[in-house]
Chain A
Amino acid sequence: MNTTYPSQASAPAGQSAPRPRPSRVVVYGALIIAAIFFLIPVYMVLVTSFKSIDQVSISTMWNLPTAFTLESFSRAINRLLPNFVNSVLLVVPATALSAMLGSINGYVLSKWTFRGANIIFPLMLFGMFIPYQAILIPLVQFLQSAGLYGGIPGLILVHVVYGIPITTLIFRNYYAEVPTEMLEAGRVDGAGFFRLYWDILLPLSLPGFVVVIIWQFTQIWNEFLFGVTLTGTGQQPITVALQNLAGSQIVEWNVQMAGALMTALPTLAVYILLGRYFIRGLLAGSIKG
């Protein structure tokens, strides 16, 4: 991964004596033990998912498979592929819409602040912390009466609406770093609200969009509560289907582990490829980071 923190790793050249540190052995030893703990579930997923069902016994749980098979993957794909597709159909439009909405909102709240904006913004932000149980009953009734209950379009709407606070926050903080003088210069040339956004701000927005898109993609892909309450059979996103698989009467651990891997793969891939932006979104969630 190519995550980079502002690094102060290299000491100034003139400083010859290395500072005294806790023994290197202890540091590396502790890190390796911690890494092993964090990787135990990964090992278990891989080992179990490459076993056939008759190899999965409780007594040999930790052993490597005696014969590698892809049987569990084909079964997991059989069971979960429709839901994987559902999740893609949900995540792509929901992420795109909430990124666009967040960008506009962030632009207004950072560059066009008006009287009352400093009341509206915190009220908006509160929306990202609430337990969604507190809005779930009216939400179901609203979606039912709007004819959106049970399907993916309704779920898209819900994710876009409840994504407004975090996407607005990230874009507002991102645009706050863009010097206002740049926009002032554009205004002198006669550019209005949309021209300033389109010609000056949007070309600078790529990193902001990457952070927001990754964040929303991960959040919506991984979400469960809305998925389980607002969708019917056949329309469920993959997290709900995985939970149903795990909760079923016949416990096929190898298929479950393959299903878990399948569910985790898209977000994991994003994290591995674009980890730096992922962490930025993560830290933005604590308001100032």
Chain B
Amino acid sequence: MDSGLTRDRLIAILMLLPSVILVAIFVYGFIAWTGYTSLTDSNALQQLSGLPAQFIGLKNYNDLFTGGLNLRFRMDMVNTVFFTIMFILVCLAVGMGLAILLDQKIKGEAIFRTIFLFPMALSFVVTGVVWKWLFNPTSGLNVLPTIIGLPAGGFRWFISEERWWPFAWQDVPLILSIIFLGIAIFAALWYWSKRRSQTAALLTALALLLLAWITFGSPRSLSGLNPERPEQHGFNVALIAVVIAAGWQMSGYTMAMYLAGLRGISEELREAARVDGCSELGVYRYVVFPLLAPITLSAMIILGHISLKIFDLVYTIGGGDNLYIDMPGINMFFTTFRSNQFGQGAAIAMLMLIMVAVVIIPYLASQLRSETKL
């Protein structure tokens, strides 16, 4: 509508103002407050004594990554990485598979869709309670194979203490450096092939620097833990149980996103591809999948930020003291509200916020930039 500061526009701004103030305080003000708390030694004793909390800089963060008492946090980080990757892969694969199946002009589509999507309406607490019963190692899912005459399964699900792909926490900086090196080399080759030699040369230089950094063993010095006593981590197999329960709940969401995308691809477009000699698989390979790529990216980001924050599902399944499926969100809750270490809890919360922000801010920016309505 018309621009300029009319009386009505002023009213409009005044009507929005309460929400803006509430968000400014409850989101940004509180984040700043948490950020400050994370730089102090605030805890229950200090609060009882009535003395102000001491400013201790980044000590809480330092402790989380290198402190002898904070093994739990480092397990959480490792668990979060493995869980997030597996959860996203499962939801994307199942969601896309179901969407493609439902797109085959089948009878009873509405019924199937309802079945695949109903878990989305449930609370993670309900999902957790029910799957906990199903994961009962002596019965539950493990006895299902006996129905068709196979031996019962022996997997202990969420109480399994098995660990695959072991590595030491001291090696994490090295592992990360090697991953960055791989990405830099790949990107450099990509830009060389595109004949963007300036970018490519820059990336090659970066890769060489990283290589030198790795060969002279510098990354190891970053870990801060005693190199003589390697702290063992790895993929905790118990996480598979959480991935199954979470995938059961969230796959329908990706299915709905993909289905909406598939319905947006016109039959004419597919027909044109067939006329050009595409097989039915070729239609998917060359027409459908490229058009679904933006949906995949959105789904990855939405699912990724859910898994970085996950709390209730793991709390319900593991009860809060099963470290093999522990996550930062649970650690923060127990550190803050059970052990009353507010400073430490705030530091965990800030690290969670940073992880989510890294994923969400670029997404928000790109979503809103591509919008012309603003």
B116 and A41 contacting across the interface, CB-CB below 8 Å: no
Stretch from B186-194, B220-228, B361-369 that touches the partner:
B361-369
Closest Cβ of chain B to A45, distance in Å, is 6
Interface status of B356 (Cβ within 8 A of chain A): yes
Distance of A121 Cα from B90 Cα, bound (Å)? 33
Interface status of A85 (Cβ within 8 A of chain B): no
Interface status of B302 (Cβ within 8 A of chain A): yes
Near A by CB (< 8 A), chain B positions 101-144 give 101-102, 104-106, 109-134, 136, 138-140, 143-144
Q: Closest chain A residue to B336 by CB distance?
A: A137
By a CB distance below 8 angstroms, the chain A residues around B19 are 101, 105, 124, 164, 168
Distance of A110 Cα from B367 Cα, bound (Å)? 17
Interface status of B237 (Cβ within 8 A of chain A): no
Interface status of B11 (Cβ within 8 A of chain A): yes
Closest Cβ of chain A to B14, distance in Å, is 9
By a CB distance below 8 angstroms, the chain A residues around B178 are none
B332 and A133 contacting across the interface, CB-CB below 8 Å: yes
Interface status of A275 (Cβ within 8 A of chain B): yes
By a CB distance below 8 angstroms, the chain A residues around B263 are 5-8
Q: A137-B37, A192-B11, A257-B130 are in contact. Are A109 and B16 (CB under 8 A)?
A: yes
What total of chain A residues lie within 8 Å of the partner, measured CB to CB?
112
Q: Closest chain B residue to A192 by CB distance?
A: B8
Near B by CB (< 8 A), chain A positions 188-215 give 192-194
B33 and A138 contacting across the interface, CB-CB below 8 Å: yes
Interface size grouping (class) on chain B: 35 or more
B316 and A268 contacting across the interface, CB-CB below 8 Å: no
Closest Cβ of chain A to B164, distance in Å, is 24
Interface status of A289 (Cβ within 8 A of chain B): yes
Closest Cβ of chain B to A87, distance in Å, is 10
Distance of A246 Cα from B126 Cα, bound (Å)? 10
A108 and B13 contacting across the interface, CB-CB below 8 Å: yes
A285 and B302 contacting across the interface, CB-CB below 8 Å: yes
By a CB distance below 8 angstroms, the chain B residues around A161 are 22-23, 26
Interface status of A176 (Cβ within 8 A of chain B): yes
A282 and B349 contacting across the interface, CB-CB below 8 Å: no
Q: A161-B22, A267-B122, A268-B118 are in contact. Are A131 and B352 (CB under 8 A)?
A: yes
Q: A118-B374, A137-B336, A246-B132 are in contact. Are A1 and B114 (CB under 8 A)?
A: yes
Closest Cβ of chain B to A172, distance in Å, is 9
Distance of A178 Cα from B305 Cα, bound (Å)? 32
B349 and A131 contacting across the interface, CB-CB below 8 Å: yes
| Choice from B102, B113, B125, B342 contacting A224 with Cβ under 8 Å | B125
Q: A1-B114, A193-B8 are in contact. Are A222 and B125 (CB under 8 A)?
A: yes
By a CB distance below 8 angstroms, the chain B residues around A256 are 129, 133
Which of A225, A243, A253 has the most B CB atoms < 10 Å from its CB?
A243
Interface status of B272 (Cβ within 8 A of chain A): no
Stretch from A27-35, A64-72, A146-154 that touches the partner:
A27-35
A44 and B13 contacting across the interface, CB-CB below 8 Å: no
Distance of A127 Cα from B26 Cα, bound (Å)? 9
Q: A127-B27, A135-B27, A187-B1 are in contact. Are A263 and B123 (CB under 8 A)?
A: yes
Q: Closest chain A residue to B298 by CB distance?
A: A286
Interface status of A11 (Cβ within 8 A of chain B): yes
A222 and B364 contacting across the interface, CB-CB below 8 Å: no
Digitize A68-107: 1 where CB-to-B-CB distance is under 8 Å, 0 elsewhere: 0000000000000000000000000000000001001101
| Choice from B30, B124, B143 contacting A138 with Cβ under 8 Å | B30
B113 and A3 contacting across the interface, CB-CB below 8 Å: yes
Digitize B253-273: 1 where CB-to-A-CB distance is under 8 Å, 0 elsewhere: 100110110010011000000
Q: A124-B20, A224-B312 are in contact. Are A48 and B123 (CB under 8 A)?
A: no
Distance of A62 Cα from B130 Cα, bound (Å)? 13
Closest Cβ of chain A to B230, distance in Å, is 30
Closest Cβ of chain A to B75, distance in Å, is 17
Distance of A60 Cα from B80 Cα, bound (Å)? 36
Distance of A45 Cα from B125 Cα, bound (Å)? 14
Distance of A257 Cα from B126 Cα, bound (Å)? 9
Distance of A130 Cα from B274 Cα, bound (Å)? 45
By a CB distance below 8 angstroms, the chain B residues around A110 are 373
A21 and B133 contacting across the interface, CB-CB below 8 Å: no
Distance of A44 Cα from B139 Cα, bound (Å)? 12
Interface status of A250 (Cβ within 8 A of chain B): no
A193 and B11 contacting across the interface, CB-CB below 8 Å: yes
Interface status of A113 (Cβ within 8 A of chain B): yes
Given contacts A224-B125, A243-B128, A275-B117, 17 further A-B contacts (CB under 8 A): A27-B101, A38-B115, A41-B131, A44-B133, A121-B368, A121-B374, A131-B309, A133-B352, A137-B349, A139-B30, A193-B8, A267-B121, A267-B122, A271-B117, A271-B120, A282-B256, A288-B371
Closest 7 CB pairs of A and B: A222-B123, A112-B12, A271-B121, A135-B30, A224-B312, A138-B33, A134-B353
